[in-house]
Amino acid sequence: MARIAIIGGGPAGLMAAEAASERGAAVTVFEAMPTAGRKLLMAGKSGLNITHAEAREQFDTRYGSAQARLQAALDGFSPQAVREWCAGLGGETFVGSSDRVFPRAMKASPLLRAWLRRLAEQGVSLRTRHRWQGFDGDALVFDTPDGRVTERFDATVLALGGASWPELGSDAAWIPWLAERGVKITPFRPANCGFEVDWSPVFVDRFAGQPVKAVKATSDAGSLAGEFVVNAWGIEGSLVYAHSAALRDRLERDGSASLRLDLVPGRTEERLARDLARQQAKASFSNRLRKGTGLDGVKLALVRELVPDAAALDPVRLAHAIKNLLLPLKRTRSLEEAISSAGGIGWADLDDSLMLKSLPGIFAAGEMLDWEAPTGGYLLTACFATGRLAGIGAARYVRGE
């Protein structure tokens, strides 16, 4: 029986294992950590947004410049297929807010347990604490609790993840081993990340940790409504992540970037100016601002923090400032803290089955490939889909197809 190695026991690797084993190969999954799927479990802590229910044409655009290269993988394992697959493991899904799809259990552990059980029943062998250390000729080298071992396989799927949250296993240590063999790797950068801001100490003291809800934010990514969190070093949260690729790119290009906030998206600028003008002239500025805008707490403090001369502005200018509050960003938070990473193995080095052109029989899948997407279930969907495509490719390769 042909033997296939899958290196990396995350969503992409386990899906590759499932697809290859269904096609009759003897599959071994090698995982560096003591257990598989640690990042999947971490994703489950926020409910496990496993895919998205928007129309396919819209869904596919979320992968930006990688859309065309991910098409075949997504055709083979669509968002709907993700939901059916989940249900097959006893994890019925539902469509939550903004069309995000979650398992009813709102966590990953039951799903991962059922998946690992089914893989074992299917004959997939999982070897944890096996850290791949590169190649020895055409053999794979692993560090194991019993020392270094070298093994040969008929095909291999690499599914080692990106470079965020390295403590969960994906530490990108593989880059030099592939680069030495001529594979071009786009440097990893933070994606779905927070941004550092020069807050005043007073603002941090009073408001670090507070959510800023129901605002609109604008960047090169467009205008989006949502919420984010202010913390001691800057800003993070879903609305910031949605803008993060655009803001990161602008910071890299121009050396500076700002997120434009509309703190009162429900009112026009003219209406807000009228409401501010109606306030009693003898009232304190704080009271005029609060009553005229309806803002309080952290939102009110943001106006004061970001518009130091706010008290001196007439209602028209003040309304304009509140609906166009420029929040200057210093830099992205580190790659290690980002939800995901951009960059990875370049598409020019991969064929349509995700085999590395310079390394016949070696396939790659998941976040280690050069694509990025916002949060919303797009990350896991593409990891599953590319894992499946690579697993099928490896199974066909060993059959000489």
CB of 185 to ligand FAD, least distance (A): 14
Cβ 284 to ligand FAD shortest distance, Å:
43
Nearer to ligand FAD, 49 or 231 (CB): 49
**Options 10-18, 80-88, 220-228, 316-324: segment touching ligand FAD (CB under 6 A):** 10-18
Residue closer to ligand FAD (CB basis): 63 or 132:
132
Query: Binders of ligand FAD among 135-174, rule CB under 6 A?
Result: 159-161, 164-165, 169-170, 173-174
Q: Where are the alpha helices (DSSP H) in 23-159?
A: 38-44, 56-61, 67-76, 79-88, 109-121
Rounded Cα distance between 331 and 371, Å, is 21
Task: Give the count of beta carbons closer than 10 Å to the beta carbon of residue 270.
Answer: 10
Q: Which is nearer to ligand FAD, 322 or 335 (CB)?
A: 335
The whole-angstrom separation of Cα 338 and Cα 297 is: 28
Segment 336 to 365, residues that bind ligand FAD, using CB under 6 A? 339-340
Contact 20, 157 (CB under 8 A): yes
Backbone angles phi, psi at 355, to 5 degrees: -85, 140
Least spacing, CB of residue 160 vs ligand FAD, in Å: 4
Tokens of 305: 């923090």
| Residues from 32 through 71 that contact ligand FAD (CB under 6 A) | 32-33, 38-40, 42-43, 46, 48-49
9 binds ligand FAD (CB under 6 A): yes
172-197: b (≥16 Cβ within 10 Å) or e: bebbeebeeeebebeebbbbbbbbeb
State which residue, 159 or 264, has the beta carbon closest to ligand FAD: 159
Q: How far is the CB of 382 from ligand FAD (least distance, A)?
A: 8
SS3 162: coil
Task: Give whichever of 105 and 300 is closer to ligand FAD, judged by the CB atom.
Answer: 105
Q: CB 163 → ligand FAD: shortest distance, Å?
A: 9
Helix (H, G, I), strand (E, B) or coil at 338: coil
Contacts for 87-92 with beta carbons within 8 Å, 24 or more apart? 89/114, 89/115, 89/118, 90/114
> Which range in 30-38, 120-128, 232-240, 321-329 contacts ligand FAD by CB under 6 A?
30-38
Can you name the residues that pair with 215 across neighbouring β-strands? 226
Q: How far is the CB of 91 from ligand FAD (least distance, A)?
A: 14
**Alpha carbons 24 and 12: distance in angstroms, whole number:** 19
Q: Which two tokens stand for residue 42?
A: 């971490």
Q: Which span sits near ligand FAD by CB under 6 A: 146-154, 197-205, 307-315, 378-386?
A: 378-386
In the region spanning residues 282 to 341, those forming contacts with ligand FAD, defined by CB under 6 A, are 339-340
Which C-beta is closer to ligand FAD: that of 30 or that of 59? 30
Q: Which of 236, 367, 370, 372 binds ligand FAD (CB under 6 A)?
A: 367
Q: Single out the residue of 226, 366, 391, 393 in contact with ligand FAD (rule: CB under 6 A).
A: 366
What residues form DSSP beta bridges with 188?
none
Please list, in sequence order, all residues whose beta carbon lies within 8 angstroms of the beta carbon of residue 86, skipping any fewer than 6 positions away: 50, 92, 93, 103, 111
The contact set with ligand FAD (CB under 6 A) reads 7-13, 30-33, 38-40, 42-43, 46, 48-49, 131-132, 159-161, 164-165, 169-170, 173-174, 339-340, 366-367, 377, 379-380, 383
